[in-house]
Structure 1
Amino acid sequence: MTLDSTGTLALAAAILLAGRFLNAGIAPLARYNIPQPISGGLAFALLAAAAHAWSGLVVETSATLRPPLLLAFFATVGLSADLGRLRKGGPKLALFLGCVVPFLMLQNAVGTGLAILLDQHPLIGLIGGSVTLVGGHGTGAAYARIFEDTHSLAGVMGLAMASATIGLVLGGVVGGPVAQYLLRGQMPLVERASGTTEVKSDAATTEGVIVTTCLVLFCLLLGGRLATLTQGLPVALPDFLWCLFVGVVVRNLVAPALRLPMSDVSIDLVGSTALALFLALTMATIRLWELAALAGPLMAIVAAQAAFAVLFATLVVYRVMGRDYEAAVATAGFVGFSMGATATAIANMQAVANRYGPAPVAFLVVPLTGAFFIDLANALVLTGAITLPVFGE
């Protein structure tokens, strides 16, 4: 069954509603801050797998809506970045980046070691490492082609897609519980701060949503154009990062000059909606029967990587970032993009922030790291790793 754009959007809405009902009816899902698109998406994946086993039915969704929804979300990240309030986030960004590079090296060491123990080619360890878990589907596909050509590894493309998909799901499932565990001793303080924030926050209005939507569309158009114009440069930024940067410029220069009303609540509403729909559409593409057929030893590697990411996040990232509420939210984000994608990281953080209150520094540091710096660091780490003798023919 093939769905057009309208049908695909309706399916995403159904997944979000299912996630809402599941989180409301199953207490642990809400208690441990599981994002609604993840819980609803897993429920749909199970139903789709059952339908496929029973009748061979496969639901094909349209991929048209996912890119603009993700770009819209990153535009709202930029629009919410009031540099006057967030200037103090600079040192935190440096600290966060200081955690990322050693983690990438250790993640690949863990994957390679497990691959050797499981009698797999060491490169499978990189596939079950930062190639797909930090790099996602795009980086996984790129390196899979390289490994197929240079090492004649059959089926590595399927393994890469399976690893990226499993990692995305695990990153969304474990990030919330990690934050909840870290906040267990801070609950009275966090809840008081949350209550104070709610009293001071403004309400979303039709005008605020319309203005925000217009600005988001402007960021998408200009960001996409800048990405196209800079494609030939030695360092080409991805389109979503251009949209984020345009949003920062609009918020801090254009909007004050034109006296445009900027509502943080409206920006959060538009951004949260775009992200939720993007994640729901992504979860709608998961085919559990294909993952089960492809995973094999890779499942054990990725599961071990999830455990390692949780340990590193709680023992290193949380402490380096200050051991406070902002640090707990940033740690949930770290788990998200260390296993899945920046979108998963933000969903983890939003699930915590929606319950306990905003974390502006974390919401600046994590997207910037996950959107740009992590990819650059990952490319450098992988370039060096592949030259090691253990990965030879």
Structure 2
Amino acid sequence: MVFKLDLIQTLALAVFILIIGDLLRKKIKLLDHFCIPAPVVGGILFSLISLLGYTSKTFTFEFDETLKDVFLIGFFTTIGFTASLRLLKKGGIQAFIFLLVSIVLVIVQNVLGIGLAKLFNLHPYIGLATGSTPLVGGPGTSGAFGPLFEQAGVKGAATIAMAAATFGLVMGSLTGGPIGKALIDRNKLAGKNEKDCQDETVIDKLINLDSDSLLKSAIIIVVAMGIGTIISKWFVDIGLTFPPYIGGMLAAAIIRNIYDFTNKELVLEEIESLGNICLAFFLSMALMSLKLWQLADLALPMMVILLAQVALMSLFAYFVVFRIMGKDYDAAIIASGTCGFGLGATANAMANMETLTEKYNKSAPRAFFAVPLVGSLFIDFFNAFAITFFMNIFK
């Protein structure tokens, strides 16, 4: 039996899955501890139900995924509004250096993934699907690039990328704390306790939203998305392979910096809120359509590549990030945070760093500025271009 859902039914199911995922996160503390997003929880649960139906040959689902691309482009357009050159300059040389280090990590993850994929006689795009796409990028980037890999003929790449992203969310939490603790203890960096200080970037803020500001935010997002379609078409015309959201992201970045240059203010909180809504809906729709049965033939090479990525991330944080960022207490905290967003998400990074600063009762203001600034704002921008670069090389 085939259950065919139209556009509205598909959206309604995605919302239901999002609600179920949120309820499970609240009930199962382990999911919350590892910062597994609600749409990932609900989506994977539904994909397991789909797997049961497929393997038993009793039922399958077909979805109208028209809105999925709209939510995808909407989310990444809001990411573009965070690409402020003025903000990066305000972060100082440390934030800029950490951004460069993170870009190197993106490149190395993809080189390792592609190299091991070729070792298993797999398409290089499988390496990208187990490289920076799911790890630095997370579920959102996986959902964006996975279909592009499949359009290039790599069967199951979207499912692999989503599975790798979920694996990374867990490992990002498991590795960061031990790495940071080892660096602090081995180098005796804790020293005397300092006055507790908490950077504003880690304080939960209550945002008051009103209809006018939300409308203005929605308008500017849609305008950027519209301009982005022209940019994306231009990329296609000159023969470059880019995901559909790149145009909107670039348009938003240009608009943001024009606003900064002219000293005009954007309603960034509202833009971020709308972006989070788009991401939640997109992830629900992307994950509920996963075809887990496509993983069967690739389970072994995928696990080998992902375990190698965990080893790479641990060594990179311990020997590269720590040294380049100054070999001090803040550098150790940054190394811990890098494991968080380098394998999982910025939320994992913040959790890792907060755990360590609480343990040693010593603040790390440099770390709490650089990591969220780079991890949640700038690295997604550069990661998308890095993935696209490798795609064009190996297409």
Superposition TM-score tier, normalisation by shorter sequence: 0.7 to 0.9
Match in the other structure for 1:172: 166
Query: Cα deviation per residue 1:334-378 (whole Å; 9 max; x = unaligned)?
Result: 335xxxxxxxxxxx3356669978812222332122211232145
Answering whether residue 263 of structure 2 is matched by residue 263 of structure 1, we say: no
Answering whether residue 146 of structure 2 is matched by residue 137 of structure 1, we say: yes
* Cα drift, residue 267 of structure 1: 2.2
Q: Which amino acid aligns with 1:182?
A: G
Q: Which amino acid aligns with 2:127?
A: G
Q: Which amino acid aligns with 1:302?
A: M
Answering whether residue 103 of structure 2 is matched by residue 105 of structure 1, we say: no
Q: Is the 8 A contact 1:79 1:248 kept in 2?
A: yes
Describe the shift of the 1:176–1:218 C-alpha distance in structure 2 as closer, same or farther (beyond 3 A).
farther
* Cα drift, residue 109 of structure 1: 2.9
Q: Which amino acid aligns with 2:271?
A: I
55-64 or 210-219: bigger deviation: 55-64
* Cα drift, residue 262 of structure 1: 2.6
* Cα drift, residue 224 of structure 1: 0.8
Describe the shift of the 1:199–1:350 C-alpha distance in structure 2 as closer, same or farther (beyond 3 A).
closer
Q: Is the 8 A contact 1:74 1:244 kept in 2?
A: yes
User: Size of the alignment, in residue pairs?
Assistant: 342
Describe the shift of the 1:249–1:373 C-alpha distance in structure 2 as closer, same or farther (beyond 3 A).
same
Q: Which amino acid aligns with 1:102?
A: V
Match in the other structure for 2:66: 64
Answering whether residue 309 of structure 2 is matched by residue 305 of structure 1, we say: no
Q: Which amino acid aligns with 1:360?
A: L
Alpha-carbon distance in structure 2 between the residues aligned to 1:130 and 1:60: 27
* Cα drift, residue 22 of structure 1: 1.2
Match in the other structure for 2:11: 9
From 231, 237, 242, the equivalent of 1:232 is 237
* Cα drift, residue 283 of structure 1: 0.5
SS of residue matched to 1:56: coil
TM-score, scaled relative to structure 2: 0.74
Describe the shift of the 1:59–1:226 C-alpha distance in structure 2 as closer, same or farther (beyond 3 A).
same
Over the residues paired in the alignment, what is the CA RMSD in angstroms?
A: 3.5
Q: Is the 8 A contact 1:183 1:328 kept in 2?
A: yes
352-361 or 52-61: bigger deviation: 352-361
In structure 1, stretches of 5+ residues that fail to align are 116-121, 145-159, 337-347, 384-393
Query: Cα deviation per residue 1:150-192 (whole Å; 9 max; x = unaligned)?
Result: xxxxxxxxxx332441232221232244145414658x99x96
Query: Cα deviation per residue 1:267-315 (whole Å; 9 max; x = unaligned)?
Result: 2211111111111111111133x325xx23x210001111111221222
In structure 2, stretches of 5+ residues that fail to align are 134-144, 182-192, 326-330, 355-367
Alpha-carbon distance in structure 2 between the residues aligned to 1:33 and 1:326: 19
State, as a whole percentage, how many aligned pairs show the same letter.
19
Alpha-carbon distance in structure 2 between the residues aligned to 1:35 and 1:264: 22
Alpha-carbon distance in structure 1 between the residues aligned to 2:161 and 2:205: 38
Alpha-carbon distance in structure 2 between the residues aligned to 1:23 and 1:53: 28
Q: Which amino acid aligns with 2:346?
A: M
* Cα drift, residue 221 of structure 1: 0.6
* Cα drift, residue 77 of structure 1: 0.9
Q: Which amino acid aligns with 1:268?
A: E
